[in-house]
Each structure stands twice: as structure tokens, then as C-alpha cells.
Amino acid sequence: MSAPLLVELFTEELPPKALKQLGEAFARVLQAELKSDGLLGTDCTTEVFATPRRLAVRLSAVLDTAPDRQFDERLLPEKVGLTADGKPTPALLKKLAGLLQDESAVARIKKVNDGKISMLYLPVAAKGQTLVAGLGVSLHLAVTKLPIPKVMSYQLTFSTDTVKFVRPAHGLVAIHGNTLIEVGVLELDATCVTHGHRFLGSADIKLNHANEYENRLKEEGRVIASFDTRRAEIESQLIAKAAELNATLGDYTALLDEVTALVEWPVVYVAGFDAEFLAVPQECLILTMRTNQKYFPLFAGDGKLTAKFLVVSNMQVADPKNIIEGNERVVRPRLADARFFFEQDRKSKLETRVPQLAKVVYHNKLGSQLDRVERLQQLAGSLAQAIGADVALAKRAAYLAKADLLTGMVGEFPELQGIMGRYYAQHDGESAVVADAIAEHYAPRFAGDVLPQTPEACCVALADKLDTLVGIFGIGQIPTGDKDPFALRRHALGVIRILAERALPLDIATVLKLAHAAFPAGNIIANSDGKALNAALDFVTERARGYLREQGYTPQEVESVLALMPPPREFVPRLAAARAFLALPEAAGLAEADKRIRNILAKSDAVATVEIDSTKFEKDEENQILINSRSLSVEVDGKLKAGDFSAALLTTARLHQPVTAFFDAVMVNAEDMAVRANRFALLREVAALTNRVVNLSKLAQ
């Protein structure tokens, strides 16, 4: 018989940040285990439920007993199990006895030859698993395989036994259609009774059928069981309340997920705080409300914070006055703390805090934060000089960039580092360029984040990331697998994005060498060999590979550009050129010819400095390829100076016919060594021309 199966584990309040993942994992393991037992009917669907006090799943079509299963039991090799005349050996009879089979089973034995040995198999039928037995095992696995952040040990009521789980569990529901399934887990026996909201709903709700679950909980228990449904309800109420106040919610997605895991019956209320707190930077107030209190700040049309916020409560009452006033009383001291930190921090200038960074360890092998600041100053100055930015402003921003780490506000809210540095720099009278660079030097903080805006900010941001990359690679702490404690992948991608999207005239190898040069003599990094720097270069190049692939370019196109390692600002124009080139009918032939030329030159022992001597030409095709390549070289030079990579590469396609004719008529490895060297020199000149935009051989199929 097929019927819906409901399983619910009722607990004390579960970790909110892990709730959605816990609910999905609980359902996934149960579904997978029951499926492997053959207990799921056709077209069985899975519904996941998760609230602060329960994990539940309903499978729409579950069998009470799985179908019997036919399979072949592997016995013995034929030469061991049967005599020469086909009679069963004692070994075979003993094997059959172990399977509760007598000698009559020999007639049903099959012989299977896998090409190496002939094996004996016995067709048998296994009784299908019962739901009671299957669910008992599946429940245990579902509980033990949960991605639990931290396991609790708790003692059972009226017992000395101890149980380990994410939170104390108090109830288990297991209903198949309208039938109770007698299973147990975590020292709990299954019942048909679930439980409603702690204060608003019925304490006990006896279910008559698995399909009643969410409706009965909602009507009688005041619980919205589905995480997604509850999230949508909260979002709808938030948007409606914000619209009533002509306000917006800003970026609320992450907080919405967390709040959904905190309530079972969400109700949104409007509260406020004293407008005088708006004198504090709004980032501080927003972080305080969202992080500490789980409130939703409200913003005016211009993006400025208002003195109103929204509270998602787990209580629906006729008069919410006490709830609103209670939350306002709670947030007031938090905002007062933020104001206190802000006012106290501004009493000391950022520049006076910098020497104190000598007491802050950056890394025991890389020195203090002050040591790092000195490296950042030098590196930011070198980068600024290279791109034509203001060197003095870039070095000043790098000097002050880490000073806000010693402020009270950043000590309380580390997420505000850089942001508070900008406010304090503005208060100190620093240049707007310096203040902005302090705030932006951590950018991009995550995938898709905005980049630093000014050239000076780009220099400080690059310096911050490059110093980390070179330093951490230099001490051998290279990321492995998914472990990346220093966020080197994010730093590497940040370097690529800044160089490429801000169109800076720098290549990856150069900026890494500048970062290495910023480490003073005697430092472990300055004394290291080039292996670590090469490893860092390979690491950043790999991030560039992924960055370009995500933009839709093929591996073939990407490799053709990265083989030349041009400045990242040229990546996309060169890739566009490669794509346009591949559309030409001559493309495949010229790419293959280039690959052939590379292979020939790689095996040649001719001196690379040999000059082309036209008097040694024996074939007209040699002269024609020289005339064509030098004529086209002038055109390519002009197009590259104009930055037109596509036109430059398409111009080289006109070498296809002369190159083809050359290989058809000329034997490169001539017996005369002088003629051979001359032909190698000719091919080197052709390869130098055809590979000025991309490595053509990488485009060969």
C-alpha cells in the first residue's frame, strides 16, 4: 500500500543559522535511505518543514512493504563448485546450506564467464523491506548524518541516560497515511502528536493523517511549518510595512533567512529610536540593529537611514505596545554604545594610532601590522608611480589604512574596518582621496562587489592583496582543497578584477615582483627563492582562468590569451580577437600551421640569433613568406598601437596562403646546415608575428 509518510522530530530551539540546512539534510537522508530500500512509490515527492522547534519531512508516496527483490547470489568459481562431470562439490553444498538451500538448488545455478573466470550464481528472491524496519534504520542515519554545528549532551527526564544531539529532542511523529509507525530515535518513541506554538497555539495536536500536518499546525498550533512559506510571509509583511511608511528595506536577504529561523508565527511591528542617534555613521547603526537585535532598518528614498525599524516578532497580540516599547528599550543602549565609541574614537587622530600597530601581530613570520603598513606604503607608492596616480596620496592612504583596527568601533564591529577609517580620516581633515582609499582598500570584499573608484584607492587595494599573497605563499601556507584561511582566492580574484576592470597598465607578474620587493632585507620573504613567487603567479593565473571562463569564453580561447600573459586589461579585447579569428575560414589552417612551426622550432638546434639571409633562399615560397610577413608586420604594428587587437589578429590571417605554400614546397630540415638555420630563422619571424595577439597554437583543435 502506498501512502504519504510524515516524520517530525520535535526539539528545543535549534541554531537559527543552521536551521534551513538541517531541515534539508534531515529530509534528504530519509528520502535517500527509504529509496534505497525500495520503499518509495513512483513519482514520490518530498516536502521539507523546519521551524525553530522542529525538523519534519513528508514523502508523498511510501510503501508499507517494498517489493520482493530478485538477484543472483555469487557462489564459487565453477572449477571449485563443480566436479569435472558437473556434480556439486562439498564446498558448493556447504555454501548452499549457508543460504538455507539444499542440493536441489544446483539445478538453478547459472554459470557466468567474465572473460577470465567462470563463476557460479544462484538466482534468489529477497523479501522486501518493511517500512517499520526501513524507517527505523533511516531515522537513525538521518539524525547521525545531520550537519550539526555543535553537539549537545543532555540527560533524559526521569533517567540517568545521556543523549547527544544538536538540541534536546522531546517528541517524534511517524505517520504513514493514518497509521502510526512504531519506530524510535534519540530514546523517543513515535506518536501521532505534534505540538503548536509555545504560547499562541494548542500544546498537543493529535494528527489523524500525514496530510493534515501543516494545516493543523497553522490553524490549531499557530505555526507555519514550511521554512520557505514562513520566509515569504515575513518578506510580504516587511515590504507592506515599509511601503506604509514610504521607506525601503535596503539589503535584507541574509537577515531574512536568519529571522525566519527564529519565529514560528511571524508578525511585523514598527518601532523607532531617538533621531539624535542618526548623527552616528549609519553603517554603525545598521550593523547594530541587524547583527545584535535582528531588526530591519528602514531607509528614506535617498538611501539615508531613518529613525524607524521593523521588528519580526513571534507573538501576535491585540495591543503590541509592550512588544514595541520593549524592543525600543533594548536597542537604545546598543545605539548609545555605538555613539560612545564613535565620539571617543574621534578624540585621537588616525595617524597617532599607527605606531601602536607595532604591538599588533599580523603573522609571527611576517611581522606586526606596522611592519605590514610600511610594506603597503612602499608598494602602493610603486604601483601609483607605475600607473601615473598621485604617489604621495597613495602612500598616505596606505599609511593610515590599518589605523582604524585600533578604534573602539572596529573592535566592537570588525565588519566596519575601512568604513570607519574613512569617517575618522574625514574628521581629521585628510584628503577626500585618502579617506576614500582607506574605505575602499578592502574592495572587492566578495564576488560581484564594487571595485575601488580612484587610481590611488586601486593602488592601496592592490597593495593590500598582493602583500598577503606574496607573504603567505612565501611562508609556504598555500591553500589546499577548500581550505583557504587567508582568503587568498578572494585576494587573487580581487587583483585580477582591479587590473582588468580598472584598465591599469600592469601585468600580474610585475605587480607580484613589486610586492616581493617591498619586503625589507632580512625578512623571510625577501630571502626566499623564486619558487614561492612562481607559485603565487600560477595561483593568480588560475583565478584569471576561472574569471574569464565565467564570462563565457571557451577554454581554448582563454588559454590562447593566458599563454602570453598580457596585462589583464587586455584579456577581454584579446579574447574578442581570438573569437573573431576563429570565425574565419583560414583560422584552423593557420592555427595548425603555427602549432607545426612551434614543434619544429622546439626541436631545432639552430642558433636562435641567426639573421635571415635572402641569398640562401632556394625556393620562391621562402621569399614570398618573408615579403608577406614583413609587409603585414607594419600593418599589425599600427593596429596594436591603436589598441585594435581584433584587426591585428585578423590581419595575420592573410599569412595562411603563404605559410601553406611554404610547407608544401620547402623542406625545413635541409641537409645544408646554413640553409636549415636560415629557414628556422624565417619561421621564428613568422611565429613572432602570428602570436602577437594570442598564442595561435592554442586555438588549434
- SS3 of 526, please? coil
Question: With helix as H, strand as E and coil as C, how does 53-104 read?
Answer: CEEEEEEEEEECECCCEEEEEEEEEHHHHECCCCCECHHHHHHHHHCCCCHH
Q: Are 137 and 263 part of one and the same domain?
A: no
Instruction: Output the pTM of the full model.
Output: 0.80
Q: Per the domain annotation, does 352 fall within a domain?
A: no
Domain boundary among 126, 158, 174: 126
Q: Are 409 and 456 part of one and the same domain?
A: yes
Q: Per the domain annotation, does 322 fall within a domain?
A: yes
Q: Which of 32, 65, 37 is nearest to 142 (CA)?
A: 32
Q: Are 369 and 428 part of one and the same domain?
A: yes
Q: What is the pLDDT of residue 61?
A: 95
Q: Per the domain annotation, does 358 fall within a domain?
A: no
Residue 466 parent element (H or E): helix 455-474
Q: What is the pLDDT of residue 608?
A: 61
Q: Which of 550, 427, 571 is nearest to 508 (CA)?
A: 571
Q: What are the mean pLDDT values of the chain's consecutive 10-residue runs (701 residues total)?
A: 94 94 96 93 94 97 87 85 88 86 85 86 84 93 90 80 90 96 94 96 96 97 97 97 96 94 97 95 94 95 94 95 96 94 96 96 92 96 97 97 96 94 97 97 91 97 96 89 88 96 96 93 76 92 94 92 94 93 84 84 68 84 87 90 90 86 85 85 87 86 64
Domain boundary among 197, 221, 245: 221
Q: Are 310 and 330 part of one and the same domain?
A: yes
Q: Which of 494, 510, 500 is nearest to 543 (CA)?
A: 494
H helices present in 281-320, as ranges:
282-287
CB atoms under 10 Å from CB of 42, counted, come to: 6
Q: Please state whether the peptide bond connecting residue 444 to the residue before it is cis, i.e. omega within 30 degrees of 0.
A: yes
Residue 101 structural domain: 69-126
Q: Are 108 and 142 part of one and the same domain?
A: no
Q: Are 472 and 505 part of one and the same domain?
A: yes
Cα separation, 341 vs 18, in Å, equals 32
For residue 634, what is the domain's CATH number?
Answer: 1.10.730
Q: Which of 611, 613, 610, 634 is nearest to 622 (CA)?
A: 613
Q: Per the domain annotation, does 561 fall within a domain?
A: no
Q: What is the pLDDT of residue 609?
A: 66
Strand arrangement, sheet containing 267-272: 267-272, 305-313, 296-299
Q: What cell was used for 344? A: 571617543
Q: What is the pLDDT of residue 605?
A: 61
Whether 561 and 644 have beta carbons less than 8 Å apart is answered as: no
Whether 319 and 274 have beta carbons less than 8 Å apart is answered as: no
Which residue is it, cell 592555427?
591
Q: Per the domain annotation, does 351 fall within a domain?
A: no
Q: Which amino acid is at 648?
A: A
459: CB partners within 8 A, 6+ apart: 380, 381, 383, 384, 387, 389, 394, 398, 437
Q: Which amino acid is at 283?
A: E
Which residue is it, cell 576614500?
436
Domain boundary among 97, 126, 155: 126
Which residue is it, cell 515590504?
239
Q: Are 249 and 293 part of one and the same domain?
A: yes
Q: Per the domain annotation, does 449 fall within a domain?
A: yes
Q: What is the pLDDT of residue 606?
A: 55
Q: What cell was used for 419? A: 568604513
Q: What is the pLDDT of residue 599?
A: 84
Q: What is the pLDDT of residue 652?
A: 85
Cα separation, 255 vs 653, in Å, equals 56
Cα separation, 123 vs 289, in Å, equals 68
Q: Are 265 and 158 part of one and the same domain?
A: no
Q: Are 59 and 148 part of one and the same domain?
A: yes
Q: Are 285 and 372 part of one and the same domain?
A: no
DSSP 179-206: EE---EETTEE-BSEE---TTTS-S-EE
Q: What is the pLDDT of residue 397?
A: 97
CB atoms under 10 Å from CB of 624, counted, come to: 17
Q: Are 277 and 386 part of one and the same domain?
A: no
Q: Which amino acid is at 627?
A: I
Q: Per the domain annotation, does 557 fall within a domain?
A: no
Q: Are 510 and 438 part of one and the same domain?
A: yes
Give the count of domains, the chain: 5
Q: Per the domain annotation, does 438 fall within a domain?
A: yes
